[in-house]
């Protein structure tokens, strides 16, 4: 049985302490099952709400890029990373691994809520093994909370409709319903497919119902908006910083924890609480994947990181790094709604990283690069 240990917060780099951590009372520990009196990994320490600075001593870290509603590819990526069982039971097998998904779970695919449910379930299981699952919100998450549904797959509207109906079956028991959706969504999807007719594609009332359902779930203060609010747009784990599109020095100067807090507050708040959507929080989510040279070095120094990991822009060559591997790009366009490419993930151990990818035709045969 685990016993509590005293832990210190993640140390701040001495050169820029004021830029890293604003005063906050929100910190927590994720304890492994080992007794503190025995030689064991130190607990994971999280600072910020939503999580912003994470100390995960001696942990293997896995970074996964944009998933865009493709549950099958999401499972494939997690399986080649060695954190998800391949027996169809969706069990965490990553032990004390820390998993970071860098945003854009939404849009272009039809199993968005199922993926969110899966990651939530895996986080719960990972914590019991001394690991953790973190998400970083991307531009497609913020777009949906803003009500911008331009990139929503038609079948994703159906998932929203089904999910609202499904919640009624759980008598609005949100936590239980949300975690179980990963197990029940497939049956709902099959039932809808079996009941469809040729004329459904022109059913305006059905389309409107899907749009309304999505608006109810994702509008500020909605159930799924509040789930997204549990995650930030910037996350530092040890000396690696993760964000969706990139990070620049003026973002760090504005305050990393402040950005996360403001985005989260906006997502949780009802429309009545804000006369208009705040603009400043979105600076870290929109397309800063072209960070180069000295700007990158200045950003990493300011945030106290060795390297940056980003998604957002599909990489035709697969996961890769630039500028002395100061920035890693992990969006490979794996979703069938993007490039339908084979999954790849980035594995980080200490200061080293390497790419894990599956063979093109045989998922269980992995190609593992050397650490860089």
Closest CA to 345 of 10, 54, 3, 62: 62
Q: Which two tokens stand for residue 172?
A: 């609005």
146 burial via Cβ count (<10 Å: 0-12, 13-18, 19+): middle
Return the DSSP state at 136.
B
Closest CA to 314 of 102, 167, 136, 33: 102
Q: How many CB atoms lie within 10 A of CB 74?
A: 25
Per-residue burial over 18-48, b if 16 or more Cβ lie within 10 Å, else e, is: ebbbeeeeebeebbbebeeeeebbbbbbbbb
Per-residue burial over 173-192, b if 16 or more Cβ lie within 10 Å, else e, is: eeeebbeebbebbeebbeee
Residue 140 annotated in active site: yes
Q: Are 135 and 52 in contact (CB under 8 A)?
A: no
Spell out the residues 6+ positions from residue 365 whose beta carbon is closer than 8 angstroms to its own. 358, 359
Which among 140, 231, 244, 312 is annotated as catalytic?
Answer: 140
Active-site residue list: 140
């Amino acid at each position: 049985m685990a016993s509590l240990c005293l832990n210190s917060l993640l140390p701040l780099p001495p050169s820029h302490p004021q830029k890293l951590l604003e005063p906050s009372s929100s910190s927590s520990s994720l304890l492994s099952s080992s007794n503190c009196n025995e030689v064991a990994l130190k607990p994971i320490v999280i600072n910020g709400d939503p999580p912003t600075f994470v100390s995960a001593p001696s942990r293997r870290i896995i970074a996964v890029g944009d998933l865009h509603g493709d549950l099958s590819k999401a499972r494939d990526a997690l399986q080649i990373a060695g954190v998800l069982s391949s027996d169809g039971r969706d069990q965490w097998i990553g032990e004390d691994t820390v998993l970071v998904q860098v945003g854009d779970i939404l849009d272009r695919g039809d199993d968005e809520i199922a993926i969110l449910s899966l990651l939530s379930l895996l986080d719960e299981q990972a914590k019991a093994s001394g690991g953790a699952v973190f998400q970083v919100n991307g531009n497609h998450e913020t777009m949906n909370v803003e009500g911008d549904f331009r990139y929503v797959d038609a079948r994703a509207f159906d998932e929203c409709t089904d999910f609202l109906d499904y919640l009624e079956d759980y008598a609005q028991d949100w936590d239980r319903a949300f975690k179980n959706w990963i197990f029940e969504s497939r049956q709902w999807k099959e039932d809808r497919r079996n009941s469809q007719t040729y004329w459904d594609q022109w059913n305006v009332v059905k389309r409107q119902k899907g749009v309304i359902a999505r608006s109810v779930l994702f509008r500020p203060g909605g159930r799924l908006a509040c789930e997204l609010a549990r995650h930030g747009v910037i996350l530092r784990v040890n000396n690696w910083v993760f964000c969706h599109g990139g990070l620049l020095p003026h973002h760090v100067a504005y305050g990393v924890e402040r950005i996360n807090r403001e985005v989260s507050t906006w997502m949780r708040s009802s429309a009545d609480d804000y006369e208009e959507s705040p603009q400043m929080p979105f600076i870290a989510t929109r397309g800063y994947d072209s960070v180069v040279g000295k700007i990158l070095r200045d950003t990493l120094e300011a945030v106290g990181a060795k390297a940056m990991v980003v998604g957002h822009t599909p990489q035709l060559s697969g996961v890769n790094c630039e500028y002395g591997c100061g920035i890693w790009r992990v969006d490979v366009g794996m979703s069938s709604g993007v490039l339908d490419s084979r999954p790849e993930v980035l594995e980080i151990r200490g200061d080293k990283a390497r790419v894990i990818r599956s063979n093109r035709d045989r998922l269980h045969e992995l190609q593992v690069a050397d650490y860089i």
